[in-house]
Amino acid sequence: MSRPQQLMTPGPTAVPPEVLHALARPVIHHRSPDFAEVFGVAEERLRAVYRTKNDVLVFTASGTGAFESAIVNLHSPGDRVLAVSQGEFGERWQKLAAVFGCDVVPLTYAWGESPTPDDVRAALAESGAGTVLLVHSETSTGVVCDLEPLLAVCSDAGALSIVDAVSSLAAVPLETDAWGADVVITGSQKALMSPPGLAFASVSDRAWERAATASLPRFYWDWERQRKAQAQGSTPSTPATSLVVAVVEALGLVLEHGLEASFARHRALGRACRAGIKQMGLELYSPDDDSAAVLTGALTPDGIDAVALRLALRDRHGITIAGGHGELVPRLFRIGHIGHVGIEELAGTLAALEEELAAAGADVEPGRAAPAAYEAFGTVATA
Amino acid sequence: MSRPQQLMTPGPTAVPPEVLHALARPVIHHRSPDFAEVFGVAEERLRAVYRTKNDVLVFTASGTGAFESAIVNLHSPGDRVLAVSQGEFGERWQKLAAVFGCDVVPLTYAWGESPTPDDVRAALAESGAGTVLLVHSETSTGVVCDLEPLLAVCSDAGALSIVDAVSSLAAVPLETDAWGADVVITGSQKALMSPPGLAFASVSDRAWERAATASLPRFYWDWERQRKAQAQGSTPSTPATSLVVAVVEALGLVLEHGLEASFARHRALGRACRAGIKQMGLELYSPDDDSAAVLTGALTPDGIDAVALRLALRDRHGITIAGGHGELVPRLFRIGHIGHVGIEELAGTLAALEEELAAAGADVEPGRAAPAAYEAFGTVATA
């Protein structure tokens, strides 16, 4: 295996040493008072990060698994679902809902666009859909949509909302209860600063009512079984106990520093990254505003291959950044700045990028991106 | 949290320190050459432990999740499934298959019994079922069935077999290819000596053929998506990368010591545990023969509460054993002796049991169970 990598990706993200140490504790049994205690703390801290009084269900799975759980627990065959997409993950949820027999009404934006309340309102009025699928942070493009008014449109229309918040929760503001989000899905491996393998779904009272009559079959994903087991301090089948222990530690760190501080730090990191990218003269792919607090996407200059650039960063600097999808593969790279990452790691990444761009023949003068990033970052505490 | 616990449970089991250390390594990205390399080693070692040339699919889930994947990938609504049950897990698979619309033909034995080839042959002939669900090691009772002739009956009838080997694989002999098992399910947290959170399914060519026409909906569990992603060195959605790293380490230990040595050790540990239990004058619940190599179940003497006994072991000795289900809760306890456990931990557990039984007023003389266990264990290397 090559040298250890600094993950500057939009998930999995770097995990703090305290969390790695927690992961290495002896395994605990999932039907024991020890686990019940840890699990109770996990649930309490999850509710705090979600800003909700709702149940937060804990699945051993990726975020896709938890999203699937929402589809199969809330629908009967033929139920009409408005599936809003502005990128790769929105398209995934359109496909997933269709696979399970939902009558999917797509509202598809070009990659990089952001959904608007007017469009969603009109599509809901026309379709009469009972559920709306929304992507809060579209990890493929860096777009974080303005979720609150979209959720208000859903509530007004009496439609349930299912929100993909996998790369947004704890990085940017998301008020589950105050904004009336029915189901919010996230994963352990992004701003929650934990290894991948756990996924979470908050479930509102309205969603529980719907689940009681929804007829799609479910067993592993069955929310009612899950709720009963969680009330007893465990899960229906063996959970990834070590990951639960790790996530408790990570959530403790997040909450200790405070969610508002986290939001401010992510916003400042986004500013810093954009400043560095622009200093290099590169074209931004992600939005050029404070909404882009999760990741920054940029295009390489003509003639510079993004894949080769990423490999050079990886092999020569020990820094992993993400690439693009489809036809954007040769040009797009994405720098994640969520979770356990500070201005130091970001500035180091930008400095390494400058070096490699210059080495590849781009018109870039090394030594300017990091200072620009530090300046844009300002005086916000890195926590 | 209370003191660290020695897990003497039939899963999750104790994890070797090398594996815990691997777990604490920095998180790696699932779309990277680093992960592809580690994942390739995991697949290769899994095939070695399974003794198969088949694909072994890797899911972030519990064993129940991987079992569900077999049901939804191999069936269309109304497909007839012979579901053989001899305990809790067999009953779970009967329910699960029914939830997804299979026409379940139950072949249900009393808990503690073991299925016979003649019964399965007759039930297959009568039902014409195209699939047979089998439990190799029934963790609720300690019964490890004689799998090879059962699989031969399935093959003779042209039925696909789905084998729950969650607590058996690597503990007792299971020849996936030589015995013709179509789908074998296991989990990371038993004899594979890893934390819970990963589950595995081997898939034969015949099973792939069936999957190509089976129409039950699937997305997270979709085998074809999974196979394509694994061919690229990853999984369709983010896997529990740290658990993959840990399982590679654990499988390395298992294979280094050798599967035959592991089978011999588990057989000897079973003998040792039974000798200790009998020395105390307790009634065995699990079989009194070498098939019971995974766990030993026993009943407390009249008037001794099994739940209180387990709590005393936990709180005063730091040893966690498992309990019983349903009406057996007040009497049954189960000692797991799979995975990273030696005669020393087992003898210590038996000695602590003696102490607590005597303290609770049972007619037990401390100091005799451990020597009996050592004697029955014999000279087999503990590896």
List pLDDT tens digits, range B52-88.
999 999 999 999 999 999 999 999 999 999 999 999 9
Interface of B with A in 301-360 (CB under 8 A): 314, 320, 322
3-state helix, strand, coil in chain B (%, to 5): 45, 15, 40
A224: contact with B, CB 8 A cutoff = no
- Chain A hits for B58, CB-CB cut-off 8 Å, are none
Please name the member of A101, A218, A243 whose beta carbon is closest to the beta carbon of B197. Answer: A243
Model pLDDT, residue A310 = 97
Please state the rounded mean pLDDT for residues B217-226: 98
Average pLDDT over residues A239-267: 98
Q: What is the CA radius of gyration of chain B?
A: 21
Q: What is the DSSP track for B168-184?
A: TBTTB---TTTTT-SEE
Q: How far apart are CA A153 and CA B137, in angstroms?
A: 53
User: Beta partners for A283?
Assistant: A299
Residue B152's pLDDT is what?
Answer: 98
pLDDT of B303 reads 95
Give the ipTM of the model, two decimals please: 0.96
State pLDDT tens for residues B281-301: 999 999 999 999 999 999 999
A3 touches chain B (CB under 8 A): no
In angstroms, the CA B191 to CA B200 distance is 13
Of B63, B195, B314, the CB nearest to A27: B195
A100 and B217: CB-CB below 8 Å? yes
Pick from B8, B21, B23, B27 the residue to mutate for testing the A interface (most A CBs within 10 Å). Answer: B27
Q: What is the band of A1 on the pLDDT scale with cuts at 50, 70, 90? A: very low
Put simply, whether the predicted model's pTM sits higher than 0.95 gets the answer yes
Q: What is the mean pLDDT of residues B145-150?
A: 98
Give the relative orientation of helices B117-127 and B147-157 as an angle to the nearest 10 degrees.
20
Q: How confident is the model at residue A2 (pLDDT cuts 50, 70, 90)?
A: low
Q: How many angstroms separate the CA of residue A220 from the nearest CA in chain B?
A: 6
Secondary structure (3-state) at B299: strand
Compute the mean pLDDT over every residue in chain A, rounded to the nearest whole number.
96
Q: Residue A184: left (phi > 0), alpha (psi -120 to 50), or beta? A: beta
Which of the four pLDDT bands, split at 50, 70 and 90, describes residue A325? Answer: confident
Query: What would the pLDDT profile of B177-200 be if each residue is shown by its tens digit?
Result: 999 999 999 999 999 999 999 999
Note the pLDDT of residue B370.
98
Write down the mean pLDDT value for chain B: 96
Q: For strands B80-85 and B131-135, give the pairing.
A: parallel
Give chain B's domains with CATH numbers: 17-256 (3.40.640.10), 258-377 (3.90.1150.10)
d(CA A332, CA A305): 9
CA distance A241 to A198: 10
User: Which of A 12-51 lie inside 8 A of B, CB atoms?
Assistant: 12-15, 20-21, 23-34, 37-38
Nearest alpha-carbon partner for B347 in B250, B257, B276, B292? B276
Q: Which residues of A touch B240 (CB under 8 A)?
A: 60, 195-197, 240, 243
What is the band of A380 on the pLDDT scale with cuts at 50, 70, 90? low
pLDDT attached to residue A95? 98
